[in-house]
């Protein structure tokens, strides 16, 4: 803070003794010491508060950066999952323009999807085949 050596302190002490006298010098030195101590504590508290605010701001910036990265990754994953889960016909429908359906066009009917026939494997299929052959005779 200040570069005050021993000689400067000695000169200040002699001048203070001459100006204030021996009765008031100890009380003045005690008061000056208290004020200097208060100033030092205040400056130290301000420095601590400033450094804690800077650390908090730095942490907020890191948190915001991490949140942005997470949001970007989440959006990318959502798009990937949606693209994977989207059926092929829907992808083609999105790429093709929608036809104009007006009132005078014919309506289309939706047919039922083909039924999957159960298959029989192993010994059960052999028995089923022999039963069919016996029934056809």
Give pLDDT tens digits for 65-115: 999 999 999 999 999 998 888 766 565 656 655 555 555 544 555 555 555
- For residue 128, give every residue at least 6 positions away whose Cβ sits within 8 Å of its Cβ, in sequence order, or none: 120
Stated as kind and residue range, the H or E segment containing 69 is helix 6-85
Is the pLDDT higher at 49 or at 118?
49
Residues in the chain: 137
What is the gyration radius of the CA atoms in the chain, in angstroms?
Answer: 46
Q: How many helices (H) and strands (E) does the chain have?
A: 3, 0
Contact yes or no for 16/29 (Cβ under 8 A): yes
pLDDT bucket at 9, cuts 50 / 70 / 90 = confident
């Amino acid at each position: 803070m200040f570069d005050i050596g021993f000689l400067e302190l000695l000169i200040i002490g002699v001048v203070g003794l001459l100006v204030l006298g021996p009765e008031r010098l100890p009380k003045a030195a005690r008061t000056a010491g208290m004020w200097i101590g208060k100033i030092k504590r205040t400056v130290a508290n301000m420095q601590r508060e400033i450094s804690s605010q800077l650390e908090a701001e730095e942490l907020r910036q890191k948190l915001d950066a991490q949140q942005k990265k997470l949001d970007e990754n989440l959006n990318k994953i959502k798009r990937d999952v949606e693209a994977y889960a989207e059926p092929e016909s829907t992808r083609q429908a999105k790429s093709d323009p929608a036809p104009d359906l007006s009132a005078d066009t014919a309506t289309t009917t939706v047919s039922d999807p083909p039924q999957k026939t159960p298959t029989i494997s192993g010994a059960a299929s052999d028995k089923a085949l022999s039963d069919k052959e016996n029934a056809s005779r």
